[in-house]
Amino acid sequence: MNVKMVRCSLKDLEMLQEISIETFKDTFQAQNSPENMKAYLEKAFNTKQLERELSNPHSEIYFIYFNEDLAGYLKVNINEAQSEKMGEDSLEIERIYIKTSFQKHGLGKYLLNQAIEIAMKHHKNTIWLGVWEKNDNAIAFYRRMGFIQTGAHSFYMGDEEQTDFILVKKL
């Protein structure tokens, strides 16, 4: 198994947009209306939004390659780039997605471990993320990896308010 992680830059914008839309749809399309899915995808993954994310000095986005094929990606945030005020000692895992055809190869665990290394490089002692309350597989994975639920926040899928659990892991 050949796994490689590469930091994204503005030159990767089109590929980032494609994998973001593909993995988000594959993960959540069945549980959401087409209208809300379309609205969310257009807001979250439009070119200008992704340019802002790639240009933010407090965010890092990485592609993961499995045997030279793009298999997924990771986005982490520190400081004011975090979507919740979790403190200066925290790193947020905002997105961690693996394409369906590459799941069950340990790539999610690999990306999570890489996020921990990034947090340690930035001298953070906590990592956290939001996960949809109905995403049972992801919740079970994060609990196995040592995360505990400390709260919840609202997440909007189009015009539908949903609940994300806040999961935290001390490093």
pTM above 0.85, yes or no: yes
Vertex 26: Cα angle to 126 and 85 (nearest 5): 25
Question: The domain 3-170: what is its CATH number?
Answer: 3.40.630.30
Alpha-carbon span 15 to 36, nearest angstrom: 23
pLDDT tens per residue across span 77-106: 999 999 988 989 999 999 999 999 999 999
110 belongs to the catalytic site? no
Backbone angles phi, psi at 46, to 5 degrees: -75, 160
Domains in the chain: boundaries: 3-170
Say how many CA atoms lie within 13 Å of 57 toward its Cβ.
Answer: 0
pLDDT tens per residue across span 99-156: 999 999 999 999 999 999 999 999 999 999 999 999 998 999 999 999 999 999 999 9
Q: Which listed residue (40, 73, 142, 156) is catalytic?
A: 142
